[in-house]
Structure 1
Amino acid sequence: MTNQDAIKVGIYVRLSKDDERIGESVSIENQKLMLTHYAEQQGWFDYSIYCDDGYSGTSFQRPGVERLIEDAKDGKINLILVKDLSRFGRNYIQVGQFTDYVFPMIGCRFIAVNDGVDTLHNDNDMMPFRNLFNEFQSKDTSKKIKAVRTACARSRKYIVTYPPYGCLKNPERCMLGIWYK
């Protein structure tokens, strides 16, 4: 892997919630910009971009990550570049399996730029803890969202995005999810 020409980078970007922007999310756009700039600074110009916009990191059943892993197994890429570990995934066990076993076994290096993780070096002692905290944050956020929705339902507030058929949003009270005919 010392030959710069032999390095084929798979840049992976992900955002779990769409930002309602038409086209690509701002976060996805920024991740791509940051990671392509990083790759080019390292002298790696042979790269492909894999994207999952609007997919949760708690599952690895995402089209972009599935294609990324297949391309790594097929030897089309030999370095995976992500912004941070949470962009790759928020499942502690699965992220660890890929970074500690699968990728080294197939000769694929993994770098999480903001977390300072590089599987080429053996100083990744904090990686399991970061993965655990990423999974915890995802579960904690899910609990909080469920609690808010339950509270809204109990106080008889609508919790849907769109008004029922035949109704319009009340512009004065739309934050409360109140509709009028």
Structure 2
Amino acid sequence: MAKSKSKIKDIKRCAVYTRKSSEEGLEQEFNSLHAQREAGEAYITSQKQEGWILVPDEYDDGGFSGGNMERPALQRLMKDVEAGKIDVVVVYKVDRLSRSLADFARLVEVFDKHQVSFVAVTQQFNTTSSMGRLTLNILLSFAQFEREVTGERIRDKFLLSKKKGKWMGGTPPLGYDVVDRKLIPNEGEAVIIREIFKTFIETRSQIETAERMNDMGFRTKRLPRKDGKVAGSKKFTRTAIYKLLKSRLYIGEIGHKGEWYPGEHKALIKLEVWAKVEAILQGNSSNRQTDSRHRRSPSFLRGFLFGPEQEALIPTATRSKGKLHRYYVSSMARKHGHKHSPLPTVPAKEIEFLVVEHLRDLLKQPEIIFTTWQMLTDQETLNEDQVREALNDLSDIWNLLFPEEQRRLMKLLVSRIDVHQQGISIRVNQEGIPTITNELQGEVTWP
């Protein structure tokens, strides 16, 4: 019986892990994963006298890169290692487990923690020896170096192809189809592109151009997927129009990281038309007075205002006769046009005055004062009258504060403001009021 117990103790449960980077050939009856597994199983059989046995679970990652750890079979393998279900991990080659030295180091650390050995069949490496560890680290360093060099070669080839004007893949733009890896004009969509440029020159407005396109029944590019579903084919937005107008692809160029090169494809827009559009865009940009002065005086309600359909109200500004006019506009209006917005454009001064007055009334309410005093009771610094006085002081000095300070206090006072046709409703952040009260009583230094 003692001999039998010794044999059980020496049994080593072995798991074979296989990986293939691409999905090509996985549908075949015998593929690369099968070949790796057979080699691993044969090696385990050769070590049978050492007590090695194959675990029934299969750990195969087909179509996954070795450059990261996001692989389902590998994650399952590591969970089983941590659960103490495996004693030896067997792979065909080291880079099947990982091509990243940093990732491999983390894997080996887990193996060591749980006393699990690692074996590469074709390279005769075993992490139980110091020499095996050294050799593995050197090998993985070269594997990572080779991977980086390969990546550089691909990037260089990609750039060279772009400079030659070749289309290097990606989602085909509206107005073109990809045939034999080349951009070929889609005449039906080309009509839409030309209409967009023509309409923008007439209206000088991205939103109005988007509205006209949508009213004419035009939509963004329809993109059939492999699963039978369809992406795209949506209504035009201000952003979508802007991207189309800014793309030099429509004058026959190919872009790469901000640089543009003459392309092999046919232009859909004449250069003089594109130049006219670019001039209008630049003019609109300079006239749109979200300028440095506006940024230095930020709207303190930014991020707090929401419309009836939960859309954010975004601060914007225009300048007329040298005077700055600030507004809050629905994100829906900015995206689809004002006629699609449930709210009109809101003058900033009006809504900010309304919010401040509403807060002043709230801070004078006895229940707010009492609750704040209760929250400060543990500090034993202020009585109820002092709390009332401090909150009244805030009401008096609000208009004297810089916008940045108003915004900081607003974050302490308010969590959200809902704006609707009938008025506003404010969600007060009760926990922030004691901090402000202390500041106004000199307990906390103002920045």
The normalised TM-score by structure 1 is 0.80
Q: Distance in 2 between matches of 1:15 and 1:180?
A: 35
Structure 2 residue identity aligned to 1:12: Y
Determine the structure 2 residue equivalent to 1:118: 126
Determine the structure 2 residue equivalent to 1:27: 32
Comparing 3-12 and 126-135, the one that deviates more: 3-12
- Secondary structure of 2:58's counterpart equals strand
Determine the structure 2 residue equivalent to 1:153: 162
Deviations 1:116-174 (A, max 9, x none): 211233321322111111111122222222222222222222333898899574xxxx4
Superposition map of 1:45-64 within 5 A: 45-47=53-55, 48-64=57-73
Instruction: Using CA pairs under 8 Å that are at least 6 residues apart, name the structure with larger relative contact order, 1 or 2.
Output: 1
Structure 2 residue 44 is the aligned partner of structure 1 residue 36: no
Structure 2 residue 111 is the aligned partner of structure 1 residue 103: yes
Q: Distance in 1 between matches of 2:150 and 2:139?
A: 16
Where do 4+ consecutive residues of structure 1 move more than 4 Å?
2-5, 161-169
Q: 1:17 touches 1:55 (CA, 8 Å); kept in 2? A: yes
Q: Distance in 2 between matches of 1:161 and 1:25?
A: 32
Answer with 1 or 2: which has the greater Rg.
2
Structure 1 residue identity aligned to 2:169: V
- Secondary structure of 2:130's counterpart equals coil
Deviations 1:36-92 (A, max 9, x none): 121222223432321111111111121111111110110111110011111110111
Structure 2 residue identity aligned to 1:32: R
Q: Distance in 1 between matches of 2:114 and 2:165?
A: 54
Structure 2 residue identity aligned to 1:62: R
- Secondary structure of 2:122's counterpart equals coil
Q: Distance in 1 between matches of 2:99 and 2:35?
A: 20
Q: 2:111 touches 2:117 (CA, 8 Å); kept in 1? A: yes
Residue 3 of structure 1 deviates from its aligned partner by 4.5
Comparing 75-84 and 144-153, the one that deviates more: 144-153
Q: Distance in 2 between matches of 1:92 and 1:98?
A: 10
- Secondary structure of 1:102's counterpart equals helix
Q: Distance in 2 between matches of 1:64 and 1:154?
A: 41
Determine the structure 2 residue equivalent to 1:129: 138
- Compared with structure 1, are the counterparts of its residues 153 and 91 closer, same or farther at alpha carbon in structure 2 (3 Å cutoff)? same
User: Per residue, is there more helix in 1 or in 2?
Assistant: 2
- Compared with structure 1, are the counterparts of its residues 61 and 6 closer, same or farther at alpha carbon in structure 2 (3 Å cutoff)? same
- Compared with structure 1, are the counterparts of its residues 21 and 10 closer, same or farther at alpha carbon in structure 2 (3 Å cutoff)? closer
Determine the structure 2 residue equivalent to 1:11: 16
Identity %: 23
- Secondary structure of 2:105's counterpart equals helix
Q: 1:19 touches 1:25 (CA, 8 Å); kept in 2? A: no
- Secondary structure of 1:12's counterpart equals strand
Q: Distance in 1 between matches of 2:30 and 2:157?
A: 25
Determine the structure 1 residue equivalent to 2:374: none
Comparing 146-155 and 61-70, the one that deviates more: 146-155
- Compared with structure 1, are the counterparts of its residues 20 and 179 closer, same or farther at alpha carbon in structure 2 (3 Å cutoff)? farther
- Secondary structure of 1:9's counterpart equals strand
Residue 104 of structure 1 deviates from its aligned partner by 1.7
Structure 2: 5+ residue runs without aligned partners?
Answer: 1-5, 186-447
Q: 2:41 touches 2:54 (CA, 8 Å); kept in 1? A: no
- Secondary structure of 1:8's counterpart equals strand
Q: 2:39 touches 2:121 (CA, 8 Å); kept in 1? A: no
Structure 1: 5+ residue runs without aligned partners?
Answer: none
Q: 1:80 touches 1:111 (CA, 8 Å); kept in 2? A: yes
Structure 1 residue identity aligned to 2:126: D
Residue 94 of structure 1 deviates from its aligned partner by 2.4
Structure 2 residue identity aligned to 1:110: F
